[in-house]
Amino acid sequence: MAGFIAQRLAKGVLVLAAIVVLNFFLIRLAPGDPALVMAGEAGATDEIFVTQLRTKFALDKPLPSQLAAYLGSIATLDLGYSVRQQMPVATLIGERLPATLLLTGCAFLISIVLGVLLGALAAGRAGTLADTAITGLALLFYATPLFWVSLMAIIVFSVRLEWLPSFGFETVGAGYSGFARAADIAQHLVLPALTLGLFFMAVYVRMTRASMLEVSRLDFVKTARAKGLTEGVIQRRHILRNALLPVVTLAGLQAGTLVGGAVLTETVFAWPGIGRLMYDALLQRDYNLLLGVFVVSSAMVLIFNLVTDVVYRMVDPRIEVAR
């Protein structure tokens, strides 16, 4: 097992390097550069101003030497400096990471717990009204655009009912600390985490239901029934457990995106997360920051892929860890 993990990690480093090089050129294909963006925002500009900015962003050097410099600093785990924000990239990402992890983590838990539960419920009652209701609801959440659900949730719960705050991470200027602060943050978290979670929940519901129905037709389930086991035990121990593999695959994929944040949800709810940081960096052509977010999130995807492979083995001991 340890050998397997070491080997995968080594491969991961190579993949990461390839991703960095690819992204480096990809984002430079977009028209415009950070100097022009800042000059444009200034409302007036001249030649000297743009040249100064280009020097400041180190854009006056040839591309290969820019790439070499970037790879060199990445190799020493230095993500570089965002000239636009006047801060090291690592600090900027570090500041946003807790908020993002809180949001995506909660959404992840909500979606997987509710999704598997409701999916199992629907599978156990396939063809009944409860099944139709659950799958119908799941389809609705799956098909409705996330930003629309978010805005509707704001209109209902923030504007009309006035139950929950509509934006932000916490009440600014309230000076809460300790438990009061946690409660305040939790209140702000409800709407974004739920709306983000509902989409993934829908995916898990459909996945769990389909997979369980497939497993329930297999011979060993018939055997279990013939043995006289109760329906509940069959559903839980025999069907659900064997139906979980595709769910784990999907959860692994979703977990990989946790760090990347959720641009739409973060934007609508003004949640100060990584997704928005990345989106702004893209619009502003803040190359270093954008690459930094890409590096961190691709590293996370690689790590979670590895974790998924290990979890497979735990869920289904028949699977040898692939070499």
Residues that bind other proteins (CB under 8 A): 30-33, 36-50, 52, 56, 84-87, 92, 95-96, 99, 151, 154-155, 158-159, 162, 165-169, 172-173, 266-270, 272-273, 276-277, 280, 283-285
C-alpha span between 316 and 248 (Å, rounded)? 11
Cβ burial of 308 (10 Å; 0-12, 13-18, 19+) is: middle
23/305 with CB nearer other proteins: 23
Helix or strand run (H / E) with residue 197: helix 178-216
Indicate the Cα dihedral angle 79, 81, 86, 92, nearest 10°. Answer: -10
Instruction: Burial-class residue 189 by CB neighbours within 10 Å (0-12, 13-18, 19+).
Output: buried
User: In terms of CB distance, is 61 or 236 closer to other proteins?
Assistant: 61
What type of residue sits at position 155? I
CB of 314 to other proteins, least distance (A): 37
Report the C-alpha gap between 234 and 230 in whole angstroms. 6
Q: How far is the CB of 118 from other proteins (least distance, A)?
A: 29
Is residue 82 a contact partner of residue 88, using CB atoms and an 8 Å limit? yes
Would you say 255 or 264 has its CB closer to other proteins? 264
User: Measured from the CB atom, is 41 or 320 closer to other proteins?
Assistant: 41
Residue type, 84: R
Q: Report in angstroms how near the CB of residue 218 gets to other proteins at its nearest.
A: 48
The residue among 238 and 285 lying less far from other proteins, judged by its C-beta, is: 285
CB of 224 to other proteins, least distance (A): 52
Name the nearest CA neighbour of 8 among 301, 243, 262.
Answer: 301
Shorter beta-carbon distance to other proteins: residue 60 or 231: 60
Q: Which is nearer to other proteins, 92 or 293 (CB)?
A: 92
Please answer whether residues 202 and 119 qualify as being in contact, where contact means their C-beta atoms are separated by less than 8 angstroms.
Answer: no
State the nearest-atom distance from the C-beta of 179 to other proteins, in Å.
Answer: 21
**Shortest reach from residue 82's CB to other proteins, in Å:** 9
- 87, containing H or E segment: strand 87-88
- C-alpha R_g of the chain: 24
Min separation Cβ 154 and other proteins, Å: 6
